[in-house]
């Protein structure tokens, strides 16, 4: 199978869906002539024109608000938020409007709005350009949340998001764009709510969310060299969450470690840990452990940034300590 980059997989998904459905269009800062600040939309304006690949002012409130309005009248907009930190500017549009329109209209209004949100620490981007706020939105009914970690999933999940009837927050980690992986040339989609087992094992379940997957896979290889075989699960979507897959894995391993780049306090790992406590407590032989970004703003200095981020060594240490834990 051919190998392409994460960014190329996203571009293919957008181009294929725009070619399939004339109601699909892309909108955001520098997505047109410039091709996107991370290059995802390169060439799309030449293929589809400026009416369907629209450069916008620097106004996240306006971008999401216009996308919401377009979705409510039958279009299928894809809007790009260049840095996840600035989705805060559009919080009313996301949380109070897009998330609630279908419910408050008694199901008459659909909101097929995809918000591509670029999250994660790219290296010395400091406190306002490095956050992973996906956990914030798990608290909001009406939103779906996708967080792919491979090029294959990036393409398949984005196509599913575009074809859906609900608002989707589609988180793309900055450091994943250059990562290459196998992606079939033929058309495919990936259902939301189906986790992927990235590595099988029986010593502990390691739940890797989004951009931390490469680190977790490296940690799993190191652990295996020491005789500890962990099962690595990638949720792929946080809402809906494949709870059944997580519980089934814990039934086998009896231990769970959750790894994500969002801050530890009230991050997505907190919700997942609560679910495991409610639905798998009888199978757990140790506390659920979270490995996440420390609860401080992102520093500019690279050594300080690396210090607060979850790393391979942190995952190895967490699992090693967990497998030796005795109730």
Cβ pair 230, 240 in contact under 8 A: no
How confident is the model at residue 122, as a pLDDT?
Answer: 87
Catalytic residue list? 129
Distances (CA, A) of 21 to 15, 272, 302: 10, 36, 44
10 and 144, same domain (yes or no): yes
Residue corresponding to tokens 């997580």:
246
- pLDDT by 10s per residue, the chain, length 327: 899 999 999 999 999 999 999 999 999 999 999 999 999 999 999 999 999 999 999 999 999 999 999 999 999 999 999 999 999 999 999 999 999 999 999 999 999 999 999 999 988 999 999 999 999 999 999 999 999 999 999 999 999 999 999 999 999 999 999 999 999 999 999 999 999 999 999 999 999 999 999 999 999 999 999 999 999 999 999 999 999 999 999 999 999 999 999 999 999 999 999 999 999 999 999 999 999 999 999 999 999 999 999 999 999 999 999 999 876
pTM: 0.97
270 and 123, same domain (yes or no): no
Task: Give the strand pairing for 76-81 and 114-119.
Answer: parallel
Residue 275 lies in a domain: yes
DSSP 128-188: TS---THHHHTTSTT-EEE---SHHHHHHHHHHHHHSSS-EEEEEEGGGTT-EEE--SS--
72 and 136, same domain (yes or no): yes
35 and 176, same domain (yes or no): yes
266 and 130, same domain (yes or no): no
- Closest by alpha carbon to 116, among 184, 63, 181? 63
CATH number of the domain where residue 260 is located? 3.40.50.920
116 and 216, same domain (yes or no): no
Cβ pair 84, 138 in contact under 8 A: no
Per the structure, the complete domain to which residue 271 belongs is given by 196-323
If DSSP states are collapsed to H, E and C, what string results for 181-229? EECCCCCCCCCCCCCEEEECCCCCEEEECHHHHHHHHHHHHHHHHCCCC
How confident is the model at residue 326, as a pLDDT?
Answer: 76
């Amino acid at each position: 199978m051919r190998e392409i980059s994460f960014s190329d997989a996203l571009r293919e998904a957008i181009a294929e869906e725009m070619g399939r459905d004339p109601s699909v269009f892309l909108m955001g800062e520098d997505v047109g002539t410039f091709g996107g600040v991370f290059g995802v939309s390169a060439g799309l304006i030449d293929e589809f024109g400026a009416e369907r690949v629209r450069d916008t002012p620097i106004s996240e409130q306006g971008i999401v608000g216009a996308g919401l309005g377009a979705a409510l009248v039958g279009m299928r907009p894809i809007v790009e938020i260049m840095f996840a930190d600035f989705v805060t500017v559009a919080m009313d549009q996301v949380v109070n409007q897009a998330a609630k329109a279908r419910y408050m209209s008694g199901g008459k209004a659909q909101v097929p709005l995809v918000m591509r949100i670029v999250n994660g620490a790219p290296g010395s981007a400091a406190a306002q350009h490095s956050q992973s706020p996906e956990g914030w939105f798990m608290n909001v009914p009406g939103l779906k949340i996708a967080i792919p970690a491979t090029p294959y999933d990036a393409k398949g999940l984005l196509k599913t998001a575009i074809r859906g009837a609900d608002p989707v927050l589609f988180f793309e980690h900055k450091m994943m764009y250059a990562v290459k992986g196998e992606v079939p040339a033929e058309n495919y989609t990936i259902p939301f709510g189906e986790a992927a087992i990235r590595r099988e094992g029986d010593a502990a379940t390691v739940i890797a969310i989004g951009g931390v997957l490469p680190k977790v896979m490296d940690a799993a290889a190191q652990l295996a060299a020491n005789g500890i075989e962990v099962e690595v699960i990638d949720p792929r979507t946080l809402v809906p969450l494949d709870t059944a897959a997580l519980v089934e894995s814990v039934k086998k391993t009896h231990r769970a470690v959750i790894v994500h780049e969002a801050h530890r306090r009230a991050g997505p790992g907190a919700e997942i840990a609560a679910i495991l406590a409610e639905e798998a407590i009888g199978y757990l032989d140790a506390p659920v452990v979270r490995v996440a970004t420390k609860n401080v703003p992102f520093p500019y200095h690279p050594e300080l940034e690396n210090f607060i981020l979850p790393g391979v060594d942190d995952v190895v240490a967490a699992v090693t300590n967990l497998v030796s834990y005795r109730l």
